[in-house]
């Protein structure tokens, strides 16, 4: 889910077909005004969704987007602070932008997102690479800050908000295959996992008005989208009180409202917290065919002592009982996880507990990381980062090996089964093949057949597999 990779992800890479006219128009008006922005996003899906909000705000302000960095008057980088490596990538990228700045006087560079929030004015004072610094809750202020920066002043707004959800801003979906769309349903996080910087960079948790979420889902459906992913740091704690009726909307209620937009639109969501996911959510998932049978349920560690130090507020047996409940209510449901190796004081024996929970829970996949101490977090203040780097890395490779084996075995069970696949586009390796996913979020590759296109559902029989993908044929 997180992209620490320096591979550039430009929100303008794929232009949503239904928006092409609009983009072209704004591109042309951009030519007249000659104000163009270029934006890159790193980190979680929330950041990518935020970049689409930013793109919308800038378009309203008369900017058009460009995919060519050298052509831009404004370069923005939406950043991630979750691990040190993510921040290193951004710094490296800023140095590259600086080279463009040197040959293009007047070019403005802005840092958005979590790193902006974490480092605040430091970017302006120490690094001198940046003109604008904007935290995740201050994007509405961008036009003003850009104006200030054009006048030679530095523009910073890193105020966090308790209310901002950007509910009224319709995201400009520039990096889209026209099939899958993302909707942010909440912002911030009130959990205090001791390793995590997110509560400090994204602020307090707040949920968006569910009716605006349903309206956005309907809009995506009307524009031909077939899959909607509801995003939040902890979707299960979604809670919105109608100020007129005082009625409280839970995540299970929201899920049902969105599922009812259309039976042909698949609904996914991420991320779930083991302490908050309720039976109501599981029953709602089971009730609607178009809610995908897939839950991203990060465990982080398989050892109860480490979970306590991580302040995850559950222990191993609580997690196990959640997994049992999921399989009881939806035997076909896939579960994936996030795992951190080498957290403070973790012993070899405790690490073995993480390996065993992967096997026990049968995660179809995991996002796996070694612990990276983040300044200001609870763990950084309270515990010593005492597992040597080499040990953390070795444990990470153990976790990757075990997960790969479990994924392989899970995929093996799919051999000969037929799944309904939503076609997303060409496979990466061959334009003769399509790539899609089944309800369980497994990637499936299959040869193209005349008459089918991205956005169509097809039945695919699985004929072979690896640990990462299923292969099959349309039947």
Q: Which of 178, 168, 169 lies closest to 19, judged by CA? A: 178
- Judged by CB, which is closer to ligand SF4: 292, or 310? 310
Tokens of 144: 């003003």
Provide the mask over 303-342, with x wherever binding to ligand SF4 is found by CB under 6 A and - wherever it is not: ----------------------------------------
CB closer to ligand SF4 out of 198 and 422: 198
83 binds, among ligand SF4, ligand 5AD, none (CB under 5 to 8 A by kind): ligand 5AD
Pick one of ligand 5AD, ligand SF4, none as the site partner of residue 2 (Cβ within 5 to 8 A by kind). ligand 5AD
Closest by Cα among 127, 40, 121, 112 to 81: 112
- Considering the complex, state which of residue 176 and residue 272 has its C-beta at the smaller distance from ligand SF4: 272
* Min separation Cβ 249 and ligand 5AD, Å: 25
Residue 189 binding: pick among ligand 5AD, ligand SF4, none (C-beta 5-8 Å cut-off by kind): ligand SF4
> Residue 426: beta bridge partners?
434
CB closer to ligand SF4, 38 vs 238: 238
Nearer to ligand 5AD, 45 or 170 (CB): 45
Nearer to ligand SF4, 179 or 198 (CB): 198
User: Is residue 55 involved in binding ligand SF4 (CB under 6 A)?
Assistant: no
In the complex, what is the shortest distance from the CB of residue 33 to ligand 5AD, in angstroms, rounded to a whole number?
Answer: 39
Residue 370 near residue 346, CB atoms below 8 Å: no
Q: Does 114 interact with ligand SF4 (rule: CB under 6 A)?
A: no
For ligand SF4, which is the closer residue by CB, 97 or 319? 319
- Find which of ligand 5AD, ligand SF4, none residue 340 binds, CB within 5 to 8 Å per kind: ligand 5AD
Smallest distance, ligand SF4 to C-beta of residue 377, A? 9
Give the footprint of ligand SF4 on residues 231-260 (CB under 6 A): 233-234
Burial of 247 (0-12, 13-18, 19+ CB in 10 A): exposed
Residues in 174-213 that interact with ligand SF4 by CB under 6 A:
189, 191, 193, 196, 198-199
For the CB of residue 342, give the shortest distance to ligand 5AD in the complex, in Å.
9
The reply on whether position 273 binds ligand SF4 by CB under 6 A is yes
CB of 114 to ligand 5AD, least distance (A): 11
Using CA atoms, how far residue 460 sits from 24, 177, 226, 421, 472, in Å, is: 37, 21, 18, 7, 6
Neighbours of 328 (CB within 10 A): 10
Instruction: Please answer whether residues 157 and 432 qualify as being in contact, where contact means their C-beta atoms are separated by less than 8 angstroms.
Output: no
Contact residues toward ligand 5AD (CB under 6 A) are 2, 82-83, 195-196, 298, 300, 338, 340, 369, 371-372, 374
326 binds, among ligand 5AD, ligand SF4, none (CB under 5 to 8 A by kind): none
Q: Which does 188 bind (CB under 5 to 8 A by kind): ligand 5AD, ligand SF4, none?
A: none
Closest contact distance (angstroms) between CB of 71 and ligand 5AD is: 34
Q: Which residues bind ligand SF4 (CB under 6 A)?
A: 189, 191, 193, 196, 198-199, 233-234, 273
């Amino acid at each position: 889910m997180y992209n620490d990779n320096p591979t550039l992800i430009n929100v303008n890479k794929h232009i949503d077909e239904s928006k092409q006219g609009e983009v072209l128009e704004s591109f042309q008006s951009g030519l007249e005004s000659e104000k163009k922005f270029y934006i890159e996003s790193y980190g979680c899906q929330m950041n990518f969704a935020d970049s689409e909000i930013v793109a919308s705000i800038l378009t309203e302000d008369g900017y058009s987007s460009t995919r060519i960095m050298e052509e831009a008057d404004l370069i923005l980088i939406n950043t991630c602070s979750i691990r040190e490596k993510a921040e290193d990538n951004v710094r490296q990228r800023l140095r590259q932008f600086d080279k463009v700045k040197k040959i293009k006087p007047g070019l403005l560079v802005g840092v958005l997102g979590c790193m902006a929030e974490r480092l605040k004015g430091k970017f302006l004072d120490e690094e001198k690479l940046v003109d604008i610094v904007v935290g995740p809750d201050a994007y509405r202020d961008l036009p003003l800050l850009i104006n200030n920066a054009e006048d030679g002043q530095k523009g910073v707004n890193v105020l966090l908000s308790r209310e901002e959800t950007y509910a009224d801003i319709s995201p400009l979906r520039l990096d889209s295959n026209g099939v899958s769309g993302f909707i942010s349903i909440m912002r911030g996080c009130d959990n205090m996992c001791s390793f995590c910087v997110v509560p400090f960079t994204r602020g307090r948790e707040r949920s968006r008005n569910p009716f605006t979420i349903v309206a956005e889902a309907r809009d995506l459906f009307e524009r031909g989208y077939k899959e909607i992913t509801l995003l939040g740091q902890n979707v299960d704690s979604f809670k919105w009180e109608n100020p007129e009726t005082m009625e409280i909307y839970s995540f299970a209620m929201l899920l049902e409202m969105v599922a009812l937009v259309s039976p042909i639109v698949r609904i996914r969501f991420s991320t779930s917290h083991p302490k908050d996911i309720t039976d109501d959510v599981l029953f709602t998932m089971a009730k609607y065919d178009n809610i995908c049978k897939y839950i991203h349920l990060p465990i982080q560690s398989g050892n109860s002592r480490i979970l306590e130090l991580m302040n995850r507020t559950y222990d191993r047996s609580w997690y196990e009982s959640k997994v049992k409940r999921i399989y009881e209510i939806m035997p076909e449901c896939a579960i994936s996880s996030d795992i951190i190796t080498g957290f403070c004081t973790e012993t070899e024996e405790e690490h073995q507990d993480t390996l065993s929970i992967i096997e026990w829970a049968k995660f179809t996949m995991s996002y796996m990381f070694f612990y990276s101490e983040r300044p200001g977090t609870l763990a950084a203040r309270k515990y010593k980062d005492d597992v040597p780097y080499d040990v953390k890395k070795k444990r990470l490779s153990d976790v990757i090996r075990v997960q790969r084996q479990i994924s392989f075995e899970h995929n093996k069970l799919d051999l000969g089964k037929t799944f309904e696949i939503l076609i997303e586009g060409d496979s990466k390796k061959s334009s003769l093949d399509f790539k899609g996913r089944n309800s369980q979020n497994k990637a499936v590759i299959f040869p193209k057949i005349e008459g089918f296109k991205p956005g169509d559902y097809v039945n695919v029989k699985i004929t072979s597999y690896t640990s990462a993908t299923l292969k099959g044929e349309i039947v």
